Structure 1
Amino acid sequence: MKFTRCEANPIVVPGGEAIRQVATFNPGVIHDQGKFWMYDRAASSLTPFQTSIGLLESDDGIHFTPVQEEAVFTGEMLGFPGGSVEDARVVKIDGLYYMCYALQPYAFDCWPTGIAVPNYFPEHYPEWASNGVKPMLTRSGIAVSEDGIHFKQLCYTTPPEIDDRDNALFPEKINGKFALLRRPMEYVGEAYGTDRPGMWISYSDDLLEWSEPKLLAVAQEAWEGAKIGAAATPLRTEKGWLVLYHGVDGSSIYRVGALLLDLNNPEIVIGRTKPFIMEPEEYYEKTGLVIPNVVFPTANLIIDDILYVYYGCCDTSIGLATVPVNELLDFILG
């Protein structure tokens, strides 16, 4: 399976606007009314390493320019002025824009090591301890907008006491219900039917109250490491729901696999890649400001039978890769 990297990669890099001075990565992207809208995770500093969601636009899906200098969604909008909102995954349903996001409510510092996941330092920010929240715990939620620019909080999709990220909303209702992928880290053990964190699925009638999640998939291959999580938003294809996911091996290398889920019952996995379909190859995927050796897709689109995959590179910049969607589907089912 071979993806074609865009010749202009990395297509978005840090600098310019204050909100993305040190990093821009893990974007949500939608194609709407003839334009590509990109919701990037933007960082203005490493101390603290605070991220917000910015907005860029493009006519061709490659050359992006900022819509505005200010972020469209921040931790402060949720009542956490020192917090970070992360990894927007955006869909448009019935005329409204829905943004799945992850929230780390309080400040922390980031010290890259150059060899693996950075050292994060939350200890000298007293809010973590004074509010009884486990350091670096991540809660997820959904924000909503009528115009794709002005977002407001809609709901939290995960409880406050567990670490649960990689939330991705299906772009349409299934059997009359909204469906959501999750990755609750604490759902491990005999009661949960798995010995490692995995991908789970929840449902809702109104996007406000969510069902108890059901286990969907766990790591199986060596490249997936000890846990997997949803990468980009699920996409409807004629052969099933296409879901890209990420895995991290023992050397902290982030790679990508794919699932195919039944269109009418997405709890049924009808296809899954055994080998990875993307891994770090180019310099901007192997070397960055924050984490080396990372390809982390958080957005995908199908345009003229081509799958566009937008991905974070080393938590520093944004890349684009493409592949004929039918080639990928055949590979998954083969």
Structure 2
Amino acid sequence: MKLKSNLFKQILATVFCIYAATACTSHKKEEVQSSEQTDQSDSAGWSLLPFEKVDSLNPILTSGMSTFKCPILKKSIRWDEKDVFNPAAVVHGDKVYMIFRAEDNIGKYAGTSRLGVAVSEDGLHFERMASPVFYPDNDSLKRFEWEGGVEDPRIVKSEDGKYIMTYTGYDGTTARLLVASSTDLIHWTKHGTVLQGKHKNTWSKSGAIVSSMYKSGDPEPVRALEDSVPKHKKDLAVPGKSGTVVATRVNGKYWMYFGDTDLFMATSDDLIHWTPVEENGKLKSVLKPRPGYFDSRLVESGPYALITDDGIVLMYNGMNLETGGDTTLAPGAYCTGQALFDRNDPSKVIDRLETYFMKPDKPYEITGQVNQVCFVEGLVYFKDEWYLYYGTADSKIAVAVKR
């Protein structure tokens, strides 16, 4: 009996250990699953979240073999052979138009960049046009755009129906923020550099214009009509549902965030000619990197800045320092954050997410031309869902959706 009793106790002890180990493993699994959600779970109420990467389809656009006769080289080249990234996006009619950056394999600065167009009926599956729609040419801006090319597009609509695109021209030495306009997203008129005068040759890029959204069928943006809104704020638009993003005046002027160190601002009366906001004779910084955070090295504008009831929501890209940044991320990683600015003073920060809501964690985001990159640049509201388009490792394009 004693032997059987000891055996029984041993069996009970073994069963208990197995149960405890299983419970512990399950608990750890739940912790891991929970930790994977913390990037977005602690978000502020004003933020535009959560977004879910469409892993079943990503990446949705990769390099191609399309040919194009370069007007400067005067020969046919494969303009999108090397990499595609930096996607802007707009809703045009009942389709999503993506304007993306593509690099060839022959430009001496890691390839010459041009802008192509891809079109989708569902926001997920895109068909690209064979030739670029925007590229360096033998024109007055060649000195700013050749041989590095044109890159980093961001597009909104003006009140008169034109598309306004900010983009970067790179001559191989200095990146400059420029502006162009179009009525159809295919044929573009170049207007020159955003910064003029003493800032004309200042490194500048990534222009995100403050905008609002139209409701379907409305001749103008939805207005803030609540009695609590002061009269001087009545001209500020709030988001609608159709997805047409329109540049919106705040206190009589258009505003733009730009930069890829700190974020700076410029204002305009016509969306073409811009004046930088200065402080003590220098560009005024309105958003800075944060030591110890994912955005410890630099901050760079994402898509357009969106006017909401809470303020102006700006998605931005942050780069992690090699040392002194977020130790849970890879050195140099690009992740995505959001900041909230005052809708009556776009230069005033009200709030900022404590952490990123998107990070590189897929093979095509971790390895590429530049490793460890999720870089958001295109945002549309389409068929009752938000679609966020981003470059991965400066090599491919992916999408995340908020339903």
Q: Tell me the TM-score normalised to structure 1 length.
A: 0.79
User: 1:91 aligned to 149, 156, 159, which one?
Assistant: 156
SS of equivalent to 1:284? helix
* 1:37 has 2:97 as partner: yes
Cα gap change, 1:89/1:9 in structure 2, threshold over 3 Å: closer, same or farther? same
Q: 1:247 aligns with which of 318, 333, 350?
A: 318
Distance 2:300 2:262 in 1: 6
1:181-212 C-alpha deviation (Å, 9 max, x unpaired): 111x7xxxxxxxxxxx4111111112343223
Q: Match of 2:193? A: 156
* Aligned AA (1:43): E
| Residue-pair matches, total | 281
* Match for residue 304 of structure 2 among 230, 233, 237: 233
Alignment pair present for 1:168 and 2:208: yes
Q: How far apart in 2 are the matches of 1:61 and 1:304?
A: 9
The answer as to whether partners of 1:28 and 1:38 remain within 8 angstroms in 2 is: yes
Structure 2 residue matching 1:293: 3-state secondary structure: coil
Specify whether residues 304 and 240 from structure 1 end up closer, same or farther in structure 2 by C-alpha distance, changes over 3 A only: farther
1:235 and 1:301 in contact (8 A); partners too: no
Counterpart CA distance in 1 for 2:167 and 2:270 is 18
Q: Which amino acid aligns with 1:12?
A: L
* Aligned twin of 1:219: 289
Which of structures 1 and 2 has the bigger CA Rg?
A: 2
Matches of 1:212 and 1:152, distance apart in 2:
22
* Partner amino acid, structure 1, of 2:294: W
Q: CA deviation at 1:218?
A: 0.4
Q: What are the within-5 Å matches in structure 2 for residues 117-136 of structure 1?
A: 135=173
Which stretches of structure 1, 4 residues or more, deviate above 4 A after TM superposition?
Answer: none
**After the TM superposition, which residues 69-108 of structure 1 pair with which residues of structure 2 at under 5 Å, given as runs?**
69-76=130-137, 77=139, 78-80=141-143, 81-93=146-158, 94-106=160-172
> Which is worse superposed, 148-157 or 167-176?
167-176
Deviations along 1:209-235, one digit per CA (max 9) or x if unpaired, are: 322323211012421122211112112
Give the corresponding residue for 2:82.
22
> Which AA in structure 2 matches 1:36?
V
Give the letter for the 2:51 counterpart: F
Return the letter of the residue paired with 1:162.
T
Question: Residues 10 and 318 of structure 1 are in contact (CA less than 8 Å); yes or no, is this contact kept in structure 2?
Answer: yes
* Bigger share in strand: 1
For 2:276, what is the secondary structure of its paired residue?
A: coil
Alignment of 1:153-302 (within 5 A): 153-158=190-195, 159-170=199-210, 171-183=247-259, 197-213=261-277, 214-220=284-290, 221-249=292-320, 250=322, 251-288=331-368, 290-302=369-381
Q: Is the 8 A contact 2:116 2:131 kept in 1?
A: yes
Is the contact made by 1:155 and 1:207 (CA closer than 8 Å) also made in structure 2? no
Once the two structures are TM-superposed, the CA of residue 47 in structure 1 deviates from its matched residue by 4.5
Q: How many Å separate the matches in 2 of 1:60 and 1:211?
A: 38
Q: Separation in 1 of the partners of 2:363 and 2:179?
A: 34
| Alpha-carbon shift at residue 308 of structure 1 (Å) | 1.6
User: Paired residue for 2:30?
Assistant: none
Question: In the alignment, is the contact (CA less than 8 A) between 1:166 and 1:229 conserved in 2?
Answer: yes
User: Could you tell me whether the CA contact under 8 Å between 2:179 and 2:272 is conserved in 1?
Assistant: no
Higher relative contact order (CA 8 A, sep 6+): 1
In structure 1, C-alpha distance between the alignment counterparts of 2:365 and 2:60, rounded to whole Å: 12
How many angstroms does 1:46 deviate by?
5.5
Unaligned runs of 5+ in 1: 107-134, 186-196, 325-334
Amino acid at match of 2:308: T
Q: Does 1:315 align with 2:394?
A: yes
Deviations 1:232-281 (A, max 9, x none): 21123332222111111121111111012222321222221011111001
1:75·1:105 contact (CA, 8 Å) conserved in 2? no
How far 1:305 moved relative to its partner?
A: 5.6
8 Å CA contact 2:153, 2:206 repeated in 1 = no
1:41 and 1:51 in contact (8 A); partners too? yes
Separation of aligned partners in 1, 2:201 and 2:394: 26
